[in-house]
Amino acid sequence: MTRRTTGFLLVGLLVALLIAGVGSSYASSSPDGLEASAEETGFADTAQDSAVAGSPLADYGLAGVEDARLSGGLAGVIGVLVTLAVAGGLTLVLRRRTRVGAGSRDPAPAGGD
Protein backbone atom coordinates (compact mmCIF):
# COMPACT_ATOMS: atom_id res chain seq x y z
CA MET A 1 0.00 0.00 0.00
CA THR A 2 1.34 3.41 -0.89
CA ARG A 3 1.80 6.25 1.59
CA ARG A 4 -0.97 8.18 -0.14
CA THR A 5 -3.43 5.31 0.22
CA THR A 6 -2.45 4.76 3.84
CA GLY A 7 -2.87 8.45 4.59
CA PHE A 8 -6.26 8.51 2.89
CA LEU A 9 -7.45 5.50 4.89
CA LEU A 10 -6.20 6.95 8.17
CA VAL A 11 -7.92 10.28 7.51
CA GLY A 12 -11.13 8.41 6.63
CA LEU A 13 -10.92 6.43 9.86
CA LEU A 14 -10.31 9.59 11.87
CA VAL A 15 -13.31 11.31 10.27
CA ALA A 16 -15.54 8.28 10.94
CA LEU A 17 -14.42 8.14 14.57
CA LEU A 18 -15.01 11.88 15.02
CA ILE A 19 -18.48 11.69 13.54
CA ALA A 20 -19.35 8.66 15.65
CA GLY A 21 -17.79 10.00 18.83
CA VAL A 22 -18.62 13.69 18.67
CA GLY A 23 -21.35 14.04 16.06
CA SER A 24 -23.56 11.44 17.71
CA SER A 25 -24.05 13.70 20.72
CA TYR A 26 -25.89 16.15 18.46
CA ALA A 27 -28.32 13.54 17.08
CA SER A 28 -32.00 14.15 17.61
CA SER A 29 -33.58 12.60 20.68
CA SER A 30 -37.00 12.73 19.01
CA PRO A 31 -38.59 9.40 18.16
CA ASP A 32 -37.97 8.03 14.68
CA GLY A 33 -40.77 7.78 12.11
CA LEU A 34 -41.97 4.33 13.12
CA GLU A 35 -41.99 5.18 16.80
CA ALA A 36 -43.79 8.48 16.18
CA SER A 37 -46.40 6.74 14.00
CA ALA A 38 -46.92 4.08 16.67
CA GLU A 39 -47.52 6.79 19.26
CA GLU A 40 -49.93 8.69 16.97
CA THR A 41 -51.99 5.64 16.06
CA GLY A 42 -52.03 4.23 19.58
CA PHE A 43 -50.13 0.96 19.32
CA ALA A 44 -46.84 2.08 20.88
CA ASP A 45 -47.74 0.34 24.14
CA THR A 46 -47.65 -3.05 22.38
CA ALA A 47 -43.93 -2.75 21.57
CA GLN A 48 -41.59 -5.33 23.06
CA ASP A 49 -37.87 -5.16 23.74
CA SER A 50 -35.63 -6.92 21.25
CA ALA A 51 -33.63 -10.00 22.16
CA VAL A 52 -30.49 -7.85 22.51
CA ALA A 53 -32.06 -5.13 24.67
CA GLY A 54 -29.77 -6.04 27.57
CA SER A 55 -26.56 -5.96 25.55
CA PRO A 56 -23.76 -3.51 26.40
CA LEU A 57 -24.50 -1.31 23.36
CA ALA A 58 -28.33 -1.32 23.49
CA ASP A 59 -30.24 1.90 22.79
CA TYR A 60 -27.25 3.58 21.11
CA GLY A 61 -25.34 3.87 24.37
CA LEU A 62 -22.71 2.07 26.42
CA ALA A 63 -24.08 0.29 29.47
CA GLY A 64 -22.62 1.49 32.76
CA VAL A 65 -21.72 4.99 31.54
CA GLU A 66 -23.99 7.55 33.19
CA ASP A 67 -23.24 10.58 30.98
CA ALA A 68 -25.56 10.24 27.95
CA ARG A 69 -23.26 12.11 25.55
CA LEU A 70 -20.20 10.10 26.54
CA SER A 71 -22.17 6.87 26.45
CA GLY A 72 -23.47 7.54 22.93
CA GLY A 73 -20.08 8.68 21.70
CA LEU A 74 -18.32 5.60 23.03
CA ALA A 75 -20.97 3.34 21.54
CA GLY A 76 -20.45 5.05 18.17
CA VAL A 77 -16.69 4.67 18.33
CA ILE A 78 -17.01 0.99 19.30
CA GLY A 79 -19.46 0.50 16.42
CA VAL A 80 -17.03 2.03 13.92
CA LEU A 81 -14.14 -0.10 15.19
CA VAL A 82 -16.18 -3.34 15.17
CA THR A 83 -17.42 -2.60 11.64
CA LEU A 84 -13.86 -1.89 10.51
CA ALA A 85 -12.62 -5.12 12.10
CA VAL A 86 -15.34 -7.24 10.45
CA ALA A 87 -14.89 -5.59 7.04
CA GLY A 88 -11.10 -5.85 7.30
CA GLY A 89 -11.28 -9.49 8.32
CA LEU A 90 -13.59 -10.32 5.44
CA THR A 91 -11.33 -8.46 3.04
CA LEU A 92 -8.27 -10.41 4.18
CA VAL A 93 -10.08 -13.75 3.94
CA LEU A 94 -11.51 -13.01 0.50
CA ARG A 95 -8.20 -11.66 -0.84
CA ARG A 96 -6.37 -14.76 0.37
CA ARG A 97 -9.05 -16.97 -1.17
CA THR A 98 -8.83 -15.12 -4.51
CA ARG A 99 -5.03 -15.44 -4.61
CA VAL A 100 -5.22 -19.18 -3.99
CA GLY A 101 -7.86 -19.58 -6.72
CA ALA A 102 -5.96 -17.35 -9.15
CA GLY A 103 -3.00 -19.76 -9.24
CA SER A 104 -5.09 -22.46 -10.90
CA ARG A 105 -6.44 -20.27 -13.73
CA ASP A 106 -4.83 -19.74 -17.09
CA PRO A 107 -3.37 -16.26 -17.56
CA ALA A 108 -5.13 -13.87 -19.92
CA PRO A 109 -3.71 -13.66 -23.44
CA ALA A 110 -1.05 -10.93 -23.84
CA GLY A 111 -2.53 -9.55 -27.06
CA GLY A 112 -5.90 -8.75 -25.46
CA ASP A 113 -7.81 -10.76 -28.11
Coil, strand or helix at 96: helix
pLDDT at site 83: 96
Q: Where are the alpha helices (DSSP H) in 42-110?
A: 68-102
Taking the mean position of all CA atoms in its chain, how far away is CA 54?
Answer: 20
pLDDT at site 78: 96
pTM of the model: 0.70
Q: Rounded to 10 degrees, what is the CA torsion of 82, 26, 58, 91?
A: -20
pLDDT at site 32: 81
Burial class (CB in 10 A: 0-12, 13-18, 19+), 79: middle
Residue type, 100: V
Q: How confident is the model at residue 88 (pLDDT cuts 50, 70, 90)?
A: very high
Question: Is there a contact between 49 and 61 (Cβ–Cβ < 8 Å)?
Answer: no
